Amino acid sequence: LYVVLGGSQYEAIARQVAGSDRQRMIATAILLLVLAAFGAGAWLFSYLTRRLRLLTGEVSAFTASRFDAGSPVAAADRPRDEIDQLRNACHYMADTIQQQLSALQEDDRLRRELVTNVSHDLRTPLASMQGYIETLIIKDDALDAGTRKQYLEIARRHATHLNRLIQGLLELAILDSRSVTPEFEHFPLPELIHDVVQEFRLQATEANVTLEVDPPDESVSVYADISLIQRVLENLVGNALKYTPAGGKVSISVERSAAAVGVSVADTGPGIAEEALPHIFDRFYRADERQDRADSSMGLGLAITRRILELHSSKISVVSKARQGTRFHFDLPVAARAA
Ligand code: ADP
């Protein structure tokens, strides 16, 4: 009786089977490893490009909105890497594009408004002048000397108004064009105020309005463009006298602080309505539309004043109460600002 427990053939087969199992296991393990590496790679790639995809989406949405989207590309608060830096650069670019676009749209709106206002303001006195001159030509013999003189006087008034309107527009256009640079110099402000007061003295006396300066300190010197500041004072004092009724008062006051000199022009006139206050510095704005346009109201004086003060890095402010009066205030530097 033979019991074959393990022949050489059996052992060879068993070795072969065990070897191929190991090979399969190794192959499976390699395959699993490759799959895991591929999966991890794909996840890592998706993770790394996720922020880029987000940014691309935001930039595309901004472009699709024709650069008008509310807040197109959010900035990264604390940039950690190049992607955050790219995001911040895109945010800055989008912001700049939006600002420039709105500035262009605003310029366009103002230009249209200006053309409408200018054509209206030029057409009205021109049409009136034309009417009176044509009447004078056609009815020459039928008009008596007094009427003829009256018509000529009206035509002259309109011509003067047109001249002033064109001058005002030209002045604003020059001030708006960046070509104007104020000629800064040190000069005594009270002397300039004194000259302006002299200019308006006769008009104030005729209108029975008190015109005074408070206090007439001779030692205050400012650093500004003397002829432009003269224009500002003329506009403010001229307006104050124009709107203050007989018996009223116009006062110019000067207050000195460490770095600036404050100038105020106050009157006891009718004041400006609260709803009109935010607009009085807009060109062609008149608080009271019934104002006599043919005479001196153009709505340009305060726009010119504000522009001149902007060129001095200064701002004009106004406080006004109905039936109590109006006070305009601005500051001027006492010395050149350090660059
Ligand atoms: P205008 O040529 O009409 O005076 P401005 O630009 O100088 O133009 O002023 C704009 C408007 O502001 C005026 O039409 C007037 O209604 C109002 N205003 C300006 N200054 C005064 C003032 N001192 N008192 C009352 N209203 C004023």
pLDDT given at position 24: 87
| Ligand 1 contact, 264 CB (< 6 A) | no
Asked if residues 334 and 313 have their Cβ atoms less than 8 Å apart, the reply is: no
Could you give the count of Cα atoms lying within 13 Å of 181 in the half-sphere of its Cβ?
A: 2
Amino acid at 117: N
User: Would you give per-residue pLDDT tens digits along the chain (339 residues)?
Assistant: 666 666 777 788 888 877 788 888 989 999 999 999 999 999 988 887 888 888 888 888 888 887 776 667 788 888 888 888 888 898 888 888 888 988 898 888 878 887 887 888 888 889 999 999 999 999 888 888 899 999 999 999 999 989 988 888 888 888 888 778 899 999 999 999 999 999 999 999 999 999 999 876 667 899 999 999 999 999 999 999 999 999 999 999 999 888 889 999 999 999 999 999 999 998 888 887 655 544 567 888 999 999 999 999 999 999 998 888 999 999 999 877 654
pLDDT given at position 217: 60
Residue owning the nearest CA to atom 26 of ligand 1: 272
| Ligand 1 contact, 292 CB (< 6 A) | no
If you measure from the C-alpha of residue 312 to the centroid of ligand 1, how many angstroms do you get, rounded to a whole number? 22
If you measure from the C-alpha of residue 302 to the centroid of ligand 1, how many angstroms do you get, rounded to a whole number? 7
If you measure from the C-alpha of residue 67 to the centroid of ligand 1, how many angstroms do you get, rounded to a whole number? 39
Ligand 1 pocket check: which of 242, 275, 302, 308 to mutate, most ligand atoms within 8 Å of Cβ?
302
Closest CA to 227 of 184, 168, 166: 184
pLDDT in tens, 225-237: 999 999 999 999 9
pLDDT given at position 4: 64
Beta-carbon neighbour count of residue 304 at 10 Å?
22
Ligand 1 pocket check: which of 239, 241, 275, 305 to mutate, most ligand atoms within 8 Å of Cβ?
239
**This prediction's pTM:** 0.70
Quote the CA–CA distance of 281 and 276 in Å, as a whole number: 10
| Ligand 1 contact, 121 CB (< 6 A) | no
Tokens 């500002």 -> residue: 232
Cβ-Cβ contacts under 8 Å for 219 (sequence gap 6 or more): 188
Question: Which atom of ligand 1 is nearest to 267's Cα?
Answer: 23
Closest CA to 219 of 190, 185, 258, 261: 190
pLDDT in tens, 62-77: 888 877 766 677 888 8
Angle between helical axes of 145-176 and 301-311 (0-180°, round to 10): 20
pLDDT given at position 216: 63
Q: Show the beta-strand stretches assigned E in 225-310.
A: 249-256, 260-267
Asked if residues 187 and 226 have their Cβ atoms less than 8 Å apart, the reply is: yes
Closest CA to 220 of 305, 331, 338, 328: 331
Asked if residues 261 and 189 have their Cβ atoms less than 8 Å apart, the reply is: yes
Beta-carbon neighbour count of residue 331 at 10 Å?
20
If you measure from the C-alpha of residue 287 to the centroid of ligand 1, how many angstroms do you get, rounded to a whole number? 7
pLDDT given at position 227: 93
pLDDT given at position 219: 78
Question: Which atom of ligand 1 is nearest to 265's Cα?
Answer: 23
Ligand 1 pocket check: which of 280, 284, 305 to mutate, most ligand atoms within 8 Å of Cβ?
280
Quote the CA–CA distance of 185 and 189 in Å, as a whole number: 11
Quote the CA–CA distance of 174 and 168 in Å, as a whole number: 10
pLDDT given at position 38: 94
Is the Cα dihedral 169, 173, 176, 181 positive or negative?
Answer: negative
pLDDT given at position 206: 95
If you measure from the C-alpha of residue 286 to the centroid of ligand 1, how many angstroms do you get, rounded to a whole number? 6
If you measure from the C-alpha of residue 279 to the centroid of ligand 1, how many angstroms do you get, rounded to a whole number? 10
If you measure from the C-alpha of residue 288 to the centroid of ligand 1, how many angstroms do you get, rounded to a whole number? 9
| Ligand 1 contact, 164 CB (< 6 A) | no
If you measure from the C-alpha of residue 235 to the centroid of ligand 1, how many angstroms do you get, rounded to a whole number? 9
If you measure from the C-alpha of residue 316 to the centroid of ligand 1, how many angstroms do you get, rounded to a whole number? 14
Residue owning the nearest CA to atom 22 of ligand 1: 240
Closest CA to 312 of 231, 216, 238: 231
